[in-house]
Structure formats: structure tokens, C-alpha cells
A and B are shown apart, each in its own frame.
Chain A
Amino acid sequence: MKKLQFGYHMKLTFSDYVSNHRFSLKCVPHDTDLQKIVNMTVEVYPDNVTSEDSDAYGNITLFGYTNELHDCFGFDVKGIAVTGKEEYEKADELHKIGIFKYQTQKTKPGLRILEFYQKLDLKRFGSATDKATAIMDSLSEAFQYVQGITDMETTAEEAFTGGSGVCQDYAHIMLSLCRMERIPCRYVAGMMMGEGLSHAWVEIWDEHKWRGFDPTNHKLVGDEYIKISNGRDSTDCLVNQGIFTGNVSQMQEINVVVEEVFDEWNNRIN
């Protein structure tokens, strides 16, 4: 169990003023079997007009609008996550989560992933966890972490064909492979200890448990991770979605900081 202090900062700067801005944010971690979120503050600017709701996957969605002219938009989310409360998240019965067995536009395999899948020869393994471990092992060998080659729109097959990408791509490829094996699995967006960008990994369903795998770092998901949202693929977990009036270019700045805290004050929240 860990106590992690987190800060998630996102800022969009527009090249000119925009208006009629509508946004939906999935940037707020929620309580799960693994983590409890306390002392959280959420600031959205320039206007703080937001509503809150849970989506179909249980993710917290903040939504709202800014009608006034503005040339930047962003949020700051801060708080403490008590992580590692359990080893696994309890999962719904199989018939209820069947949707996670099927490929999406982002995870649909093409020839390259199919070829890779056949080489994996997963029949050697029994449990979903063993299969997922084998997939993660081979994937971290076959795929390189390189920023700036893929983008938000890149599919699993495109990324795999290119041979390199970021955590989102690792996650999509792993989902694609697990789904070919009919293992229910979901995409997870979140944060990891350290400083930098947000992170993404996968969870696979194994006998009523969701088990986290981080193919980017080639490790199992433990108490250094904070989940923000989960879904079929990255499109269900978009941190920021918006539409506005204005013909502008935009620059995004993201900074995520997650540090372990040990002081006495933290012992009290147990």
C-alpha cells in the first residue's frame, strides 16, 4: 500500500481567441477496489462551470462550457491516492462485460499483428493471466518506445507495423492480441509514479478479477499506479474532448507528477 500525491496539469493554448467552447474531461481518478482518492481539488479554467457524471464504464466525466472569448483552456487536478488497497479489482460476471472481448476500430488486427499472434502460439498456456504475461513478454521485445512517431489516431496495427510508439500503442496492441484470444480486456488511462506524461496500460479479465499489465514498462500493475479511466480503447478514455468556434492551431502542455508521501499526516487517512 502506498500514499501517492498526484498533480495532473493540462493546458491548451490557442493561436487566437475561441468561443462557444464545450468540453468533456476524464481527468479525475475515482475510487476503485485498489485505490481511494482523498483531498482532491479540481480546477478548470478559464471558467469553472462544470457538471459531473459517471459514464457507462464508471469513469468520472466533468463537462461544461465556456462561452466567453478565451485563448487558453486547462485543468489542474491534485490530490492523494491511497493505492494497493487490494491486489485486484473485482470484475463483473462474464456475460456483463462481454463487450471487452471484441475488437474496436483501434484494436482490430491486420496482417502484421495476425502474423505476430500466430507466432506466439498461446495454446501452450492455460489461464488468461499466463497468456497475457506471454503477450506482454513478447510485445516488449518486439516493440520500441519512441515518442512522436504515432499520434492519438494511430491504430494498433499501424503502430505495430511501424515498430515503435508510446504507451497508448503498447496498450492497443496488447488489447488486440488478448482479444484475438477471446480474453476480455480493457484499456486503462492513468498516472504512474514519477514526473512526465499521463500513462496507459491494460487490464485483463481472469476469473472475476481485473489484472493490470503495463506492457510499456514490462511489468504488472501495482501500487505505483493511479487509474483515471477505463474503456474499450483510448477513445473511451480521452482526457479532454472539446468543440469550439474559432479557426486556430493549438498547443497542448501536460505535466503529471506522482510522488510517494510518508509524513504522519498521511497515516491519519488510513
Chain B
Amino acid sequence: MTTYADIFSKKERVEDMEIYAGSGAVNEQLARYGVKFGIYKNNEFKEQLFPFDMIPRIIDKDEFTYLEKGLKQRVVALNCFINDIYGDKHIVRDGIIPEEFIYAGSGYLPQCDGIKPPKGIYAHIAGIDLVQAKDGDWYVLEDNLRIPSGASYPMIARMISRRSSPDLFTGKHVEDNRNYAAMLRRTMDHVNVGGHTVILTPGRYNAAYFEHSYLAEKTGAHLASGHELIVENDHLYFIDYSGRKERVGAVYRRISDEYLDPMTFRKDSVIGIPHIFDIYRKGNVALINAPGNGVADDKGIYYFVPKMVKYYLEEEPILQNAPTYLPYYKEDMKYVLENFDKLVLKDVAEAGGYGVVFGNKMTSEEKENFKTMLKNEPRRFIAQEVIDFLDIDIMEKHELLPRKADLRAFVLMGEEPMVWKSGLTRFSRNPDSFIVNSSQGGGFKDTWVLSQ
């Protein structure tokens, strides 16, 4: 594996220290461009900068070729799965996945049953979270198939870094990552059923509003909010400034399923578009990503993804999951109870770092209580081996410090699957923490994929 130390000569490293120290300048530029995310704290909306660390994560060409193959395979299988679940449900019939993992979870949306989205694609944009262990092995930690965000951050950080320190990139053979917008546009155009392409945002108080506007600008799609779109006569229209209505054929919606259409999902949604789901059902608009993908990306289903690869593609999975146990199965329950202290337990219904507990951090009373809960509700939890992450250096006050980091890789399903030769590397600023979520104060890095 390559680190920045291999790629920069010693002299360069010393000189680059100065440049890195100047990462303050890049951060200043990012602030100028409004690269922020919004959070609600105590009912107040605040915008925070997303701290950027200039030392890139570097991925070798060969290593990325391996990841790329595995990511494509995984996302193709996940798409097969979603199509099957809202169709014939063969994977349930054949007993590969027990039905309660589908029907008793909140991810399966019965309203989507029987729908064939344009070109049969459910997950157009997938954000697959990976970590690298100390031995160099990669593991998939999570599949994000609803509205994975984050691509805009390395996009703009690369653009600004190139501008502020052009020398940094000379002779380094880094794959250009400025093609994300073009890839996204191809993905959207592929399923467009005729008409404009729109990015639907809940508005500027959304955490990822910067990303919505940036991707709209870079792809040439219209940035619209719910009240600018209207369903009439079985089609979706964009109402422009003069009141003229223009047909829309594809919506990259950055609104979650439950708020998308008050006539089908949450009735109190004021950011959605009434009847958009009805015309989507009829095939008159493409929704990117398709509603209902939650059935494929919850923690309980994660366990089955390697099985999906075998089931649908008849191939061996290239990428591995973190070793995971389902207490739902008797032998796994036995293992979990016997090895409780070395496992991390996750509540399948929770997200964003909640509902995660480490066996060895519980008091003996807590352990007993947890084990009782586990026996009563075995389907509610998964258990995983704790992976020893590979640390990545970050620069803090002219000092290099090792930190935990993950990688969100972006896989786009156009005519064929495409993997973006970059990705969002998030790191924890707290040395003792494994949690890299931006809302928890983490920062991000650019991800360099080497071209030779």
C-alpha cells in the first residue's frame, strides 16, 4: 500500500509541510465556496465547516482495480435484490433470506411492490463505506443506497487544492476526479423518460444543501424545491420563473422516501410533490434513487449481501463484509454469547452511530441485561468482530497524527456500473474515536487513486 510518504520525496515532504500547513488556505477557500453542512442543535440551525485535511488518502492502481471490481459486483447484486424483492421475491422463496428480515423491517415499502423503475435500476447512486484493516484488507461496513451524500466534498477540495498548490499534483499520476459530474449526468440521462433533469432539494436548511447546489451546477441539472414541481395529467412539470411548465423526465431527489409524496407517504410532508409517486408507478418519471431501497441497506440485510452475490450472479463475492453474526441463527447466537467481550453489537433499526455497543465496555450487569434482550429479540441485533483499522495521518498544527478513517466509494449505475476513481475519506479528529461521522465533528480528505 502507498502512503503519502512513498509518493512525495523527503525534500518535497519538508517543503510540502509548508503547503500542508497552508491547508488553512484551502479551508478558507472552502468556506468561501460555502462548503458547509447544516446541523440542528437545540432546535437551532447552524452551519458548520467540514474541516479538510490536505494529506490525501492514496490508493494504488492495483488495489483500486480490485476495489472497483468488487464494488461493481456488489452494487449489481444489490440492484438484483431490490428488483427481486419488489417483484417475484425468489430470494425469500428459496430461503436465502428469512422473510422477517424483509417484512418486519422498516426498509421494505409495500407501496413499491410490483414497480419496475425505468431501465430496471433501483440504486443509481450507491455510497459504499469501506475500512482498511491494519493487515491491508478492505472490508465493507455499510451500503448506502437511499441518498448517499458526500461526493461533492472531494470534488471541490481537489479543484481548490489544484488551484492553490498546482505543484503538488505534478508528476504524481493521480486519476482526475473531476469527472463525477459527467458520470452522474450519464446516470441520470440513462433513465430519463423524456424531459428535463432536476435535482430536488428540501432547501437550504438541509444538511447537504451545498452538495445539492454544487451537483446541480456541475451537471447542468435544474436545482428545484418541491413547490417548483407539479404533477399534471400524469406527468411531472417544472414551473419556471415565468410560470411556464416544462416536462421533467428524471428527478435526482435529495428528499427521503417518507417525505417524497404526501399522498402516498407521510401526509404532513410539505417538501414533497403530491402524486409524484403515482406517475412514477406509471413509468412517467425516473426517481433517482428509486423509492424503497431501504430494504437493501439496513444492518440486518447487510449480512446477506455476500449471499446475494452468489445467489443472483453465481459468483464468489470479491469484497468481504466485516465478520458478522446474526443471533437470529442458533449457531451465531451461541458464538455471540460465548465471545461477547470481543464483539461490537449493533441495533439494526438504528443509524448514524446510535445503537452501537462494544461488548468489552459493558459492566457485568449491563452484559447480562443485554444478553437477555438479545435472547428475547434475536432479530434486532447483529454482532461484528471489531476491526483494527489502519490509521491515516492527518496534519494538526504542523504535526502528523494518526487517526481512524473510512472511505465512502461511489458507484453509479448507468448503462453499466461505474466506480468513481476517488471517494470521500472521513476521519475522526478525536484520537480515541472510531466514529467518523461529519455530524460528530469529523473531517475529510481527498482520495487519490493512482493511475500507474
What chain B residues lie within 8 Å of A96 (beta carbons)?
A: 88-89
Asked if B89 and A99 sit within 8 Å, CB to CB, the answer is: no
* Complex CA distance for A61 and B234, rounded to whole angstroms: 13
B402 within 8 Å of A (CB atoms): no
What chain A residues lie within 8 Å of B110 (beta carbons)?
A: 56-57, 99, 232, 236
A227 within 8 Å of B (CB atoms): no
Closest to B109 in A: A56
Interface set, chain A 53-81, CB cutoff 8 A to B: 53, 55-57, 61, 63, 65
A95 within 8 Å of B (CB atoms): yes
* Complex CA distance for A191 and B279, rounded to whole angstroms: 29
Asked if B103 and A102 sit within 8 Å, CB to CB, the answer is: yes
A194 within 8 Å of B (CB atoms): no
* Residue count of chain A within 8 Å CB distance of chain B: 22
Closest to B279 in A: A51
B217 within 8 Å of A (CB atoms): no
Asked if A24 and B275 sit within 8 Å, CB to CB, the answer is: yes
Asked if A53 and B278 sit within 8 Å, CB to CB, the answer is: yes
Q: Contact mask A188-215 → B, CB, 8 Å, 1/0?
A: 0000000000000000000000000000
Q: Contact mask B72-107 → A, CB, 8 Å, 1/0?
A: 000000000000000011001100000110111000
What chain B residues lie within 8 Å of A65 (beta carbons)?
A: 231-232, 274-275
* Complex CA distance for A99 and B36, rounded to whole angstroms: 41
> How many residue pairs, one in A and one in B, have C-beta atoms under 8 Å apart?
61
* Complex CA distance for A55 and B282, rounded to whole angstroms: 10
A243 within 8 Å of B (CB atoms): yes
A253 within 8 Å of B (CB atoms): no
Asked if B103 and A101 sit within 8 Å, CB to CB, the answer is: yes
Asked if A98 and B282 sit within 8 Å, CB to CB, the answer is: no
* Complex CA distance for A99 and B263, rounded to whole angstroms: 21
A203 to chain B, nearest CB (A): 16
Asked if A55 and B89 sit within 8 Å, CB to CB, the answer is: no
Interface segment out of the listed B111-119, B174-182, B324-332: B111-119
What chain A residues lie within 8 Å of B102 (beta carbons)?
A: 98
Asked if B267 and A241 sit within 8 Å, CB to CB, the answer is: yes
- Assuming the contacts A53-B282, A65-B232, A241-B267, asked whether A98 and B92 have C-beta atoms less than 8 A apart, the reply is yes
What chain B residues lie within 8 Å of A22 (beta carbons)?
A: 263, 274-275
What chain A residues lie within 8 Å of B112 (beta carbons)?
A: 56
* Complex CA distance for A243 and B275, rounded to whole angstroms: 11
B281 within 8 Å of A (CB atoms): yes
What chain B residues lie within 8 Å of A98 (beta carbons)?
A: 89, 92, 99, 102-103
What chain A residues lie within 8 Å of B263 (beta carbons)?
A: 22, 24, 63, 241, 243
* Complex CA distance for A101 and B282, rounded to whole angstroms: 28
* Complex CA distance for A153 and B104, rounded to whole angstroms: 22
Asked if A99 and B111 sit within 8 Å, CB to CB, the answer is: no
Q: Contact mask B230-271 → A, CB, 8 Å, 1/0?
A: 011110000000000000000000000000001100010000
Asked if B108 and A99 sit within 8 Å, CB to CB, the answer is: yes
* Residue count of chain B within 8 Å CB distance of chain A: 29
A93 within 8 Å of B (CB atoms): yes
B153 to chain A, nearest CB (A): 36
B3 to chain A, nearest CB (A): 49
Q: Which of B89, B111, B233, B279 contacts A56 (CB 8 A)?
A: B111
Asked if B267 and A95 sit within 8 Å, CB to CB, the answer is: no
What chain A residues lie within 8 Å of B113 (beta carbons)?
A: 56-57, 99
* Complex CA distance for A233 and B114, rounded to whole angstroms: 19
* Complex CA distance for A236 and B109, rounded to whole angstroms: 12
A208 to chain B, nearest CB (A): 14
Interface set, chain B 275-325, CB cutoff 8 A to A: 275, 278-279, 281-282
B380 to chain A, nearest CB (A): 14
* Complex CA distance for A51 and B263, rounded to whole angstroms: 14
A232 to chain B, nearest CB (A): 7
Q: Which of B92, B114, B262 contacts A95 (CB 8 A)?
A: B92
- Assuming the contacts A22-B263, A24-B263, A51-B233, asked whether A93 and B275 have C-beta atoms less than 8 A apart, the reply is no
* Complex CA distance for A101 and B92, rounded to whole angstroms: 14
- Assuming the contacts A51-B233, A53-B278, A53-B282, asked whether A95 and B108 have C-beta atoms less than 8 A apart, the reply is no
Asked if B278 and A51 sit within 8 Å, CB to CB, the answer is: yes
Asked if B234 and A51 sit within 8 Å, CB to CB, the answer is: yes
- Assuming the contacts A102-B104, A241-B267, asked whether A55 and B99 have C-beta atoms less than 8 A apart, the reply is no
* Complex CA distance for A102 and B101, rounded to whole angstroms: 11
* Complex CA distance for A236 and B264, rounded to whole angstroms: 9
Interface set, chain A 80-118, CB cutoff 8 A to B: 93, 95-96, 98-99, 101-102
* Complex CA distance for A53 and B276, rounded to whole angstroms: 13
A41 to chain B, nearest CB (A): 22
What chain A residues lie within 8 Å of B233 (beta carbons)?
A: 49, 51
* Complex CA distance for A54 and B427, rounded to whole angstroms: 47
Asked if A56 and B282 sit within 8 Å, CB to CB, the answer is: no
Q: Which of A61, A99, A232, A236 contacts B278 (CB 8 A)?
A: A61
What chain B residues lie within 8 Å of A53 (beta carbons)?
A: 278, 281-282
What chain A residues lie within 8 Å of B275 (beta carbons)?
A: 22, 24, 63, 65
What chain B residues lie within 8 Å of A101 (beta carbons)?
A: 99, 103
Closest to A92 in B: B89
What chain A residues lie within 8 Å of B100 (beta carbons)?
A: 102
* Complex CA distance for A96 and B88, rounded to whole angstroms: 7
Q: Contact mask A227-249 → B, CB, 8 Å, 1/0?
A: 00000100010000101000000
A237 to chain B, nearest CB (A): 13
B228 to chain A, nearest CB (A): 14
Asked if A24 and B99 sit within 8 Å, CB to CB, the answer is: no
Q: Which of A49, A95, A236 contacts B89 (CB 8 A)?
A: A95
* Complex CA distance for A53 and B100, rounded to whole angstroms: 29
What chain A residues lie within 8 Å of B281 (beta carbons)?
A: 53, 55
Asked if B103 and A99 sit within 8 Å, CB to CB, the answer is: yes
What chain B residues lie within 8 Å of A61 (beta carbons)?
A: 278
* Complex CA distance for A53 and B234, rounded to whole angstroms: 10
The 10 listed contacts between A and B (C-beta, < 8 Å) are A24-B275, A24-B278, A49-B233, A51-B278, A63-B275, A98-B92, A98-B99, A98-B102, A99-B113, A243-B263
**7 interchain residue pairs of minimum CB distance:** A56-B113, A22-B274, A98-B99, A95-B93, A95-B92, A98-B103, A99-B103
Q: A95-B99, A98-B89 are in contact. List 10 more A-B contacts (CB 8 A).
A: A22-B275, A24-B278, A51-B279, A53-B278, A95-B89, A98-B99, A99-B103, A99-B113, A232-B110, A241-B267
